Amino acid sequence: MLPWPKVDFSKFGEVEEVELGRIQKISGANLSRNWVMIPHVTHFDKTDITDLEAFRKQQNAEAEKRKLDVKYTPVVFIMKAVAAALEQMPRFNSSLSEDGQRLTLKKYINIGVAVDTPNGLVVPVFKDVNKKRRDRAVS
C-alpha cells in the first residue's frame, strides 16, 4: 500500500486541528479499513425543483437583459447548498492526520465539479464557494 501523502491543507485556506477522542481513534481506524474492504452504497433522493428552476430561468433572463456575462446552471445552486451544509457540519469537510490522532477541520470550502470537455473529464476546483455571491461562485 502506498504511504499516506503529506498534505499541507493550510495552503488552501484556514484550518484547525482538533485532538480525536479514544472512541474516534478506534472507529477511525476501523472505518478507514472498511472503506477499502466493504463496497460503497450511494443514496439518491428525488426533490421537486420546479420553483428553483423557475427562479434560475428568471435570473438568466435578467442577466441577459442587463448584458451580464453570467449563465446560471443548477450546479451553482447545488454547490451553494453543499457549502451551506458543510458550514453546518464541518467534520464532513475534514481530513484525518497521518498518525490518525487528529482531525484537520478545513475552514475553507473548495468544491470540485467533474466537467466533460472535448479533451476529456476535468475537475475544476471552485474556491471559497461559501463566501462568494451566486454569480461569482463558479469563477
Residue 110 near residue 95 (C-beta atoms within 8 A): no
Q: CA 43, CA 37: separation in Å to the nearest integer?
A: 19
pLDDT tens profile 37-75: 666 667 788 999 999 999 999 999 999 999 988 889 999
DSSP-derived 3-state class of residue 46: coil
* Banded model confidence at residue 34, pLDDT cuts 50, 70, 90: confident
Domains, the chain, in order of start with CATH, read 9-136 (3.30.559.10)
Q: What is the mean pLDDT of the chain?
A: 86
Query: Is 137 exposed, middle or buried (CB count within 10 Å of its CB: 0-12, 13-18, 19+)?
Result: buried
